[in-house]
Amino acid sequence: MGRPPAGLSIPHGSLATRVPSVPVGLPSSLLERRPDVAAAEETMREANAEIGVAFAGYFPAVSLNGLIGYSGNPFNAAFGPTNPVWSFGASIAQPLFNGGLTTAQVEAARQTYQADVATYRETVLTAIQQVEDALSGIRILTREAKVQADDVRISRQATQIVLNEYQAGTQAFTAVVTAEAQQLGAEESLLSTQGQLQTDAVTLIVALGGGWSQSKLPDAAADSATSSPVPPLLVGN
């Protein structure tokens, strides 16, 4: 930011209790924005091109040579024109025997391609797993937060009841302390769940390669339906 830490201040605020709304269906082409998926895909394409390079060793190497010049006496150039001459030829070179080197190179290129394909599939599956884990975490933690919010509400009511009884002289102060400790424990559990919920939401955004903005969803869905190499990803809240 170009500023020293002393000049940076963050205003106080309350912790968000809700995460951004996640669409019911997410197009799989969103995963193509991830750097690891894009890198694995490009590596696979490069290995596929290397097969063609290695297979070209079966074909002869053709070289074309050309020559152009003038024929005549350069000392008589002022008195008579010189004759232009040119020649054009081709040469072909083909190794008759290389001990199966070309075949081995083609096979090695194909095996490298298969390995890169497996790496690409593993990368895509890992990306899908991370998305599914984040979605599951958001769904489970959302339900857990609702239950804990009810627990906090009941604990606060119980604390108020015990406090009223203490003020009326029917309860000892130790009962108030116990009720407040239970209330504090319930509030801490709720805050911990809400914090983990926010963390899972950020994890989902990272796993998708940048979120699920509405401006990108239509284009991503169209790409997924036409030429996306990533398997379909249909998930729900």
pLDDT tens digits, 39-59: 999 999 988 888 888 877 777
Read off the pTM.
Answer: 0.61
Within 8 A by CB and 6+ apart from 72, the residues are 80, 81, 82, 83
Taking the C-alpha atoms of residue 106 and residue 74, their distance in angstroms, rounded to an integer, is 55
pLDDT tens digits, 102-161: 788 888 888 999 999 999 999 999 998 998 898 889 889 989 999 999 999 999 999 999
**DSSP conformation class of 60:** P
**CA nearest to 144, candidates 17, 10, 8, 2:** 17
SS3 state of residue 91: strand
Token pair belonging to 226: 């036409």
pLDDT tens digits, 160-189: 999 999 999 888 999 999 999 999 999 999
Domain 18-59+100-226: top CATH class: mainly alpha
In the chain, what are the domain boundaries?
18-59+100-226
Q: Is the pLDDT of residue 237 over 60?
A: no
The region of weakest confidence among 14-18, 50-54, 91-95, 204-208 is 91-95
Q: Is the pLDDT of residue 85 over 70?
A: no
Within 8 A by CB and 6+ apart from 202, the residues are none
Q: What percent of the chain has pLDDT over 90?
A: 27
Token pair belonging to 124: 């895509």
